[in-house]
Structure 1
């Protein structure tokens, strides 16, 4: 467990507390966006795109730099910093102050890990290091997903498969020089699947979610795949940070199949969090009823009904595909996407167990991708959302990854989920390229409005149409930062 250091004026990266970041953090001027190259034959491969989001700049809403991986078949997906607000407090005896200057980007398909360096020019990152797939293979893990800086200065990456792409929930750890320290989990108990994770040092807990076996999801989505819970997950898994052991598993049942993005509240003194379950678009809240008992309970708090569609006259039902959630830094608002239904939602979570819908915005979806698809039964809406156009172009696909400004007033949304699934559900987006849009947020009463002046078109990229996924800011953001209890009130 991290312990409070001596009082000093020095500090590491990030902010003392979530509210410090919200009140004193600068307005974002750059975005780093993972861009997947759907042309698997292109030698430049996937890349990290730098986007100018300074409204006073002449290059506002444009990609101003691209750092290529120069390798095929990577599928860059999620990313994380080498250090963050969990390393904010620096002890007097420490010689080196941590610097947030490396972005760690695992490749979901190739099992490589790319490290980008922003230390010389944050507008023009350079490729610093490539950790070869043999490193993960040596430790019998594959499909690296979420990266978090840990409070001890190491970097932890969740993994979803073994070396043969069978389902296996695990983690691989690196020191601050990116030397591999091996797998992180200890003990005999091991979850069947892996995906995302978050941690709270004050409560000695790390929570992890589950997607499925890489050999299955890499070929696209098949409804029959979800029948085996050992190959398509439906559980939350809780580990002790102190001994790295799995101490509790909560089965969410069929309503909770594919629990993906998982978030603790930002407040480091609260053992409360949320997980979004993709298949049936259900949101669960997990918490400790008794702070002296390490056991968690989990309750479904939002249930988004399926929609019935007619495709060429044949009726079918689709769930929302809730593939991303995030929380504002004051823990008042929760945002989620429904990638198949096509909407972004804003919930007031002042009472975490009773979220209240306050904002909703439709920006695409499978129902309006082609004239032969229409909604025939919608238990929520009495109208059919219309296609949305930005700067003369129809938005193909739907909102996927979300990122919120530190002050909570601007919500960015990209359109790509995972290229094999993009091809399956939104082939026009793959052909024409994805996009990033900006949603203005009402943080007083609630509400979402599409900003008409901001549109990043990844269909016009130098190497052809690309697929934008996760979004980061140079100084940290709502989904990269973890705080320690000893700085919570600063």
Structure 2
């Protein structure tokens, strides 16, 4: 630790946009049949480099069957908090949870991304003992520690008690304990994020482990038994202050994306599917009069398709649902990107007016029925899934895998790992980059992406933009 803040910590969103661009991307690779360990791939994203869009380093793990999912940094711009910050930490370690194994890896990215290596491994027994939770999922760097959400409670199948969030020390990586003091009606978990100066957190819901580990359970979906609520929390008090039900037909409220500028008290959540019509949707929440409010602000319809083009799971419906599996918000809070994993579309919405999103751009690649190839002619199996935006908002990266068993249900043919990039126009519009196509090793699928120096779903800011 040095006595100078990390230059990749930014006081405001505007300063983050003006910072140097990323040179490397980090992508999680999972082995769906567990025949070899999951891995972290380091990708060169420097235009003009002889290894542009190629894997230049790989960190393979020592265990099989982890099922890597979402990961994050040990420290980020939240460290500049004027109240509880650790401003002299460094954005150095990647915290990588195994969703299936409940094991956590700490990877050191210094002195250079191409020399990244395992620093520490936290075995699942420690997670269970200190938190009572299992299936760690999402990592966020907070001003006083590392926050990790879980999808399972205790017991072998993760249903002994509700899942929640636990905190890890950001220097020693010791697990401290569960975060919640009063969870209120919260019994399911998925994503979470916050507005630090406004002192609130929002969390969402997916499912309990028996509902996702072996694939989607159609009877549970059609019975509306997956998550459909948002929970709002007092961040310092660690208590649930309000829960909003989106309606049981709005199944799987997943990624939450609060506005980056802390002045703004609103954000977005994506809903995977409406069981009444198969559409996906975007919802906007805001706080007014001391209460949180939410409304559906954009919908994406299902696309009719002949039975022979559909996997068995969808043949009875005669259509492909968009399956909104990820969303991401540009750091200037202007554009919201929406992954339609089922229809093979990446949508870009202008959300300058957060309650009136306007479709500003769209590209198709992959998709259950469309099977749209990349502009370079190569086949892209799966659809747009985990999406990450560069700090300056000019490059949008995404991968193709959701979760191994769900991949197999919706895309029964082979799904090799894929990562692409689109260039975004300042006023709106997307175009896939012909020269960006990452060749990954065989036998892997690609999930979440992190960008060197931070990205749009990593950092939370403590000061307003000027």
TM-score, normalisation: structure 2: 0.92
Selected match of 2:118 from 119, 123, 127: 127
Note if 1:453 corresponds to 2:432: no
Judging changes above 3 Å, is the alpha-carbon distance between structure 1 residues 308 and 168 closer, same or farther for their aligned structure 2 residues? Answer: farther
CA contact (8 A) 2:260 2:460 kept: yes
CA contact (8 A) 1:79 1:147 kept: yes
CA contact (8 A) 1:192 1:233 kept: no
The residue aligned with 2:293 is 297
Distance 2:233 2:86 in 1: 31
Judging changes above 3 Å, is the alpha-carbon distance between structure 1 residues 190 and 158 closer, same or farther for their aligned structure 2 residues? Answer: farther
Note if 1:36 corresponds to 2:30: yes
Judging changes above 3 Å, is the alpha-carbon distance between structure 1 residues 429 and 88 closer, same or farther for their aligned structure 2 residues? Answer: farther
| 1:414-443 deviation line (CA, Å, top 9, x unaligned) | 11111111111123343xx12111111112
CA-CA distance at 1:171 after TM superposition: 0.6
1:166-185 mapped onto 2 (5 Å cutoff): 166=159, 168-176=162-170, 177-185=172-180
CA-CA distance at 1:203 after TM superposition: 1.5
Alignment: residue pair count: 447
1:70-469 mapped onto 2 (5 Å cutoff): 70-88=62-80, 97-138=88-129, 139-152=131-144, 154-163=145-154, 164-166=157-159, 168-176=162-170, 177-187=172-182, 189-226=184-221, 232-280=226-274, 281-290=280-289, 293=290, 295-312=291-308, 316-369=318-371, 387-389=372-374, 391-430=376-415, 433-444=416-427, 446-458=428-440, 461=441, 464-469=442-447
Moved more, 114-123 or 409-418: 114-123
CA-CA distance at 1:367 after TM superposition: 0.6
CA contact (8 A) 1:169 1:195 kept: no
| 1:270-316 deviation line (CA, Å, top 9, x unaligned) | 110000011231100000122xx1x2001000111122222239652
CA contact (8 A) 2:259 2:333 kept: yes
RMSD: 2.0
Moved more, 179-188 or 205-214: 179-188
CA contact (8 A) 1:334 1:349 kept: yes
CA contact (8 A) 2:80 2:86 kept: no
CA contact (8 A) 1:147 1:155 kept: yes
Note if 1:471 corresponds to 2:449: yes
CA contact (8 A) 2:257 2:269 kept: yes
Distance 2:187 2:212 in 1: 15
| 1:239-289 deviation line (CA, Å, top 9, x unaligned) | 111110111110001343201000100011111000001123110000012
Judging changes above 3 Å, is the alpha-carbon distance between structure 1 residues 187 and 309 closer, same or farther for their aligned structure 2 residues? Answer: same
Selected match of 2:9 from 14, 19, 29: 14
CA-CA distance at 1:36 after TM superposition: 0.6
CA-CA distance at 1:143 after TM superposition: 1.3
Judging changes above 3 Å, is the alpha-carbon distance between structure 1 residues 95 and 352 closer, same or farther for their aligned structure 2 residues? Answer: closer
Distance 1:335 1:392 in 2: 24
CA-CA distance at 1:212 after TM superposition: 0.3
CA contact (8 A) 1:159 1:168 kept: no
**Which secondary structure does the structure 2 equivalent of 1:324 belong to?**
strand
The residue aligned with 2:20 is 26
The residue aligned with 1:6 is none
The residue aligned with 1:373 is none
Judging changes above 3 Å, is the alpha-carbon distance between structure 1 residues 94 and 113 closer, same or farther for their aligned structure 2 residues? Answer: closer
CA-CA distance at 1:190 after TM superposition: 4.4
CA-CA distance at 1:69 after TM superposition: 1.1
CA contact (8 A) 2:5 2:87 kept: no
TM-score, normalisation: structure 1: 0.87
Which blocks of at least 5 consecutive residues in structure 1 are unaligned? 1-8, 370-386
Which blocks of at least 5 consecutive residues in structure 2 are unaligned? 275-279, 310-314
CA contact (8 A) 2:78 2:85 kept: no
The residue aligned with 2:277 is none
The runs of at least 4 consecutive aligned structure 1 residues that moved more than 6 Å come to 93-96
Judging changes above 3 Å, is the alpha-carbon distance between structure 1 residues 466 and 209 closer, same or farther for their aligned structure 2 residues? Answer: same
CA-CA distance at 1:466 after TM superposition: 1.1
Moved more, 256-265 or 420-429: 420-429
